[in-house]
Structure 1
Amino acid sequence: MSFDLTDLRLFMNVVESGSITKGAERSHLALASASARIRNMEDMLEVALLSRGRRGVEPTQAGRALAHHGRIVLDQWERMLGDLGEYAKGLKGHIRLLCNTASLTEFLPDLLTAYLADHPNVSIDVHERLSSEIVQDVVDGKADVGVMAHATDVGELTTFPFRKLTFVLATPAGHSLASRRSLAFSEVLDYDFVGLAEDSPLQRYLEAHAARLGREMNYRVRLRGFLTVGKMVENGVGVAIMPDTAAQRCQETMNIRTVRLTDSWSTRDLMLCVRSLSELPVHVRELVEMLRS
Structure 2
Amino acid sequence: MTSPYSRLQGTGSYLPERVLSNDEISQRVDTSDEWIVARTGIHSRHIAAADEGVVDMATVAARRALEAAGLGADALDLIVVATTTPDQIFPSTACLLQSRLGNRGAAAFDVQAVCTGFIYALATADRFIRSGGARHALVVGVEKMSRIVDWDDRSTCILFGDGAGAVVLSASDVPGILSTHLHADGRYADLLQVPVDADYLTMQGNAVFRMAVRTLEEIVQETLVANDLEGSDIDWLVPHQANIRIIQATADKLGLPMERVVTTVAHHGNVSAASVPLALDDAARRHCFRPGQRLLLEAFGGGFTWGSALLRWL
Q: Which structure features the higher share of helix residues?
A: 1
TM-score under structure 1 length normalisation:
0.27
TM-score under structure 2 length normalisation:
0.26
Higher relative contact order (CA 8 A, sep 6+): 2
